[in-house]
Each structure stands twice: as C-alpha cells, then as structure tokens.
Amino acid sequence: MGRGQRRWPAAAGKPPLPVTGIPSAPFGLERSVITFSLSSVSRAAAALVLSGTTMLAAQAMEPQQQRGTFIKAEAPVSGGFVIKNEGGKRLLMLSRDFKTNDMAPDLKVAFSPSATPLAGSKPPAYPLKPGSYTVLAPLKASKGGQTYVIPASIDLSKQKSVLIWCRQFNATMAWAPIQPAK
C-alpha cells in the first residue's frame, strides 16, 4: 500500500467508499477490503462542502413566500393571494375565495411599486397613472382560485402591491399590499 492510503474491512461495519473492493477469500466467505487515498477523500469532502454552501447561498437569495389580502377600491372584493416559488417558477396564486365585480370588462392583474397605489387617485374609479403599474396578465375569472406565472422581467423586489384593474375604464377594482408570509 502507498503512502496516505488505508484499508478498511467492509465486514467491520465501516461505510463502503466508492473505490475498489479486493476479495481476499473464495466461496462467499471473502472479506472485502476497500482501498482509498486520503487525498481523494479530502477532495470529495471539499467538493461536497462547496456544493452544499452553493445550495444554501442560492436558497438564501430566493425570495420567501409573500401574501396579501385584497382591499376594496371601486368594487367589493374578497380573498387574497400568495406569491411563491414552485418548480423553478415564480407564481402569483389567487385564493379560492377570491371574488370581484363580474360585470367589469377587461380586468387585469397588475403590480405596483407603491404599497399604497391609490393614494394619489380619486374615487370612485381610482384611476392609475401611466407608468405606475406593470400588467402581469388578464384576470382569468372574476372569482375563484387561479395561478399566474410571474416572468423574470418583473422584479418582485421593486413591487409593493398587487392590483385588480380594469384597463378599458382605467378603474381599479381592488388592491393589496405585498407582505412577507408569516
């Protein structure tokens, strides 16, 4: 055996290492010996530590789950939303109890960089100023749970609220500040 190498009998309860097994006796009574280099184990351990550190850093960079409860603007509303990462995608999920005006046309789900997006607008329509919002998608239905994929082009760190907005009449049905999930 060379310098820096050890032999561990597999039958002695030591964990097998992915190196060569050397039989020492015939007929199933053999005693396997595993030979490995300490430097190769050190390299493997260092690689394992580095990959674990990389995974932890990537997880720390991912935003935590966020949520919000819709507040009435022009129309009565109920329900809320959750923003989460799932399957490598960022999702905005409206709750099953979500409901807004089913008569309003051209409804959109939008983000605003303001936590109080209607502060500068007037009732009853609560119109939005151009450039003060980012449309995510058309609202799929006026009630019930629904899921929207948030594209990478929308920087969630800069968004502070979610809106249900009627593009045709520039009227905000509801809004909700984005908050960390508890």
| Whether pLDDT at 160 is above 90 | yes
Structural tokens at position 49: 């530590």
Predicted pLDDT at 1: 54
Domain borders along the chain are 5-61, 66-180
Question: Is-contact 128 171, C-beta < 8 A?
Answer: no
Predicted confidence (pLDDT) per residue in 92-149, tens digit: 999 999 999 999 999 999 999 999 999 888 888 899 999 999 999 999 999 999 999 9
Phi-psi map region of 103: left, alpha, beta (phi>0 left; psi -120 to 50 alpha):
alpha
| Whether pLDDT at 164 is above 60 | yes
Predicted pLDDT at 182: 76
Phi-psi map region of 131: left, alpha, beta (phi>0 left; psi -120 to 50 alpha):
left
Separation CA 134–CA 51 (nearest Å): 37
Neighbours of 155 (CB within 10 A): 10
pTM of the full structure:
0.65
Predicted confidence (pLDDT) per residue in 44-93, tens digit: 554 444 444 444 444 445 557 999 999 999 999 999 999 999 999 999 99
Residue holding tokens 């999920």? 93
